[in-house]
Structure 1
């Protein structure tokens, strides 16, 4: 896993959960998250924790909730760049259907994650801007996709989609275990469920 600079202690909390997951090969058991902004060994203060807006999702947001939402937004934005290329790079009907369905679902998740972030009171800036993280297609990889067509494109796009889905499920499991905000952990549960189903769908595409 590539190391990246993270700008908030909430991101560090989530990264620690992911490290446990990667090392153990299973979902981590995380300590209950505090609603206070904890200090870390690096001296960075966690992302602010706020209450939901009136009429919004009930409950407080923990640092892990905010970190997961920020990372989910960044990852989905990157994946959509890949999916948006599919109609112009392949005519395979199965791939076109798969990409369209995946794009619709990820746009919906992106909208929900952005709304929850707004309710949390967290900064609207993307703390992962410019980061090349696991599950995120890089600018160089996106350029390579734009130069490919047909089966070559499908192979490369499939690799990026799989990397995204694998990582999305992994960090969503971490949020399920470490998050405290009900609507955010519910979104994470949905990501795990649909992510595993989409991985199975990708396997079927590969077998054709």
Structure 2
């Protein structure tokens, strides 16, 4: 039995921690080149006075967008290549949900005046499906592919739920907090379904 896809440990990543990490690694969490101002003074260029965006709002949407984009790439592979029919069906449904979320995340970026680019490219962000993950998935087959997929997509779901809960608690924009709430609900449902899939016990144990 292959042991080439061990589960990566869950690192509790709140958005305040993310802001600190990006400040020290050079990975900007906002579109502004200068250091982020305090939440009480920061406002995205396109936000109205009633919809001020703090660095927390910006960090969340700029992380969630590439997280979903990379997850969709892995889910597309799994929808076609997973061995278990229930795993393929799960991947197909989840891909549709993640694509629908991108249809709300990208306009939110625009409303905040932020670029639709991956500001975290090249950084190892917890829960992010990496190019190495995708290459390993392309090379895997059979039960090994299923194990890799289930492990990586669970990491994505758990970490994206974690940072979305931080946005609900610490964010300022009503539209961002509503979307974060919807994402948490979707992640919790997906995680519950994932735990019951064939092979999940072996992959996630």
Scaled to the shorter chain, the TM-score interval is: 0.7 to 0.9
**Distance in structure 2 (CA, Å) of the matches to 1:109 and 1:174:** 18
- SS in structure 2 opposite 1:197? helix
Please report how far the alpha carbon of residue 6 of structure 1 lies from its aligned counterpart in structure 2 after TM superposition.
Answer: 4.4
- TM-score normalized with structure 2 length: 0.76
**Distance in structure 1 (CA, Å) of the matches to 2:97 and 2:79:** 17
Aligned to 1:176: 168
From 126, 139, 142, the equivalent of 1:134 is 126
Q: What are the within-5 Å matches in structure 2 for residues 40-189 of structure 1? A: 49-52=44-47, 59-189=51-181
RMSD between aligned alpha carbons?
2.5
From 28, 32, 51, the equivalent of 1:8 is 28
Answer yes or no: is the 8 Å Cα contact 1:6–1:127 preserved in 2: no
Please report how far the alpha carbon of residue 117 of structure 1 lies from its aligned counterpart in structure 2 after TM superposition.
Answer: 0.6
Number of aligned positions between the proteins: 173
- SS in structure 2 opposite 1:85? helix
Structure 1 residues 120-156: Cα deviation after superposition (integer angstroms, max 9, x where no partner): 1123332112222111122222111111122211111
CA 137–125 in structure 1, closer or farther in 2 if over 3 Å, else same: closer
Aligned to 1:23: none
Please report how far the alpha carbon of residue 10 of structure 1 lies from its aligned counterpart in structure 2 after TM superposition.
Answer: 5.2
**Distance in structure 1 (CA, Å) of the matches to 2:86 and 2:101:** 23
**Distance in structure 1 (CA, Å) of the matches to 2:176 and 2:29:** 18
Please report how far the alpha carbon of residue 183 of structure 1 lies from its aligned counterpart in structure 2 after TM superposition.
Answer: 1.0
**Distance in structure 1 (CA, Å) of the matches to 2:173 and 2:148:** 36
- SS in structure 2 opposite 1:70? helix
Please report how far the alpha carbon of residue 200 of structure 1 lies from its aligned counterpart in structure 2 after TM superposition.
Answer: 0.7
Answer yes or no: is the 8 Å Cα contact 1:10–1:64 preserved in 2: no
- TM-score normalized with structure 1 length: 0.75
TM superposition outliers: structure 1 runs of 4+ over 6 Å = none
Structure 1 residues 80-135: Cα deviation after superposition (integer angstroms, max 9, x where no partner): 11101013322422111100110011011112111001011123332112222111
- SS in structure 1 opposite 2:27? coil
